[in-house]
Amino acid sequence: MFKLNDIKELIKLVDETTVQELEIESEGTRLSIKKPSAPEVVSLQAAPQAFISAPQIQQQAVLPSAAGSQTETAAQSSAAVDASSSLHKIVSPMVGTFYRSPSPEASAFVSSGDRVDEKTTVCIIEAMKLMNELEAEIKGEIVEVLAQNGQLVEFGQPLFLVRPD
């Protein structure tokens, strides 16, 4: 069974990406989320009798206006990346939440000026409650960290700039 908080998080992730439709089935329950092109956006069916209509979920999952500022920050970061075309970009392999350290009290995996090699862990991307470590996959020096700790990131979004050796 899906929890309401999990449904809200999935709606937010779909809304902030280019994904048009997401369908998940778990323990006999099917969850389908579609971008708004028609009034019906989300339906949850545990059995033919159980149905949550899209308007009810949309009212509970109103996104904060901070999402707009994240989009502006991502656009500014993209402009900086284009200006630095000689640098290697480490990009997000998935949609999720970006974390610079393994725990809130731990120090960051890497910072500007740090040397990395192909196997150096540079961050964690949390997606669907799974923590995915991202490796540099290149030898060089971290020039800039483009994402903020705790920020939602999209597939292909530049996270780090690396000056290759």
- Contact yes or no for 97/152 (Cβ under 8 A): yes
Same domain, 39 and 113: no
Same domain, 79 and 159: yes
- Domain hosting 88: range is 66-164
CA distance 79 to 47: 48
Same domain, 33 and 70: no
What is the number of structural domains in the chain?
A: 2
Global confidence as pTM: 0.50
CA distance 161 to 143: 5
Q: What is the pLDDT of residue 160?
A: 95
Give the pLDDT mean for 73-79: 52
Same domain, 11 and 77: no
CATH number of the domain bearing residue 84: 2.40.50.100
Same domain, 54 and 94: no
Question: Over the stretch 105-162, which tens digit does the pLDDT of each residue have?
Answer: 999 999 999 999 999 999 999 999 899 999 998 999 999 999 999 999 999 999 999 9
Tokens 């092109």 sit on residue: 37
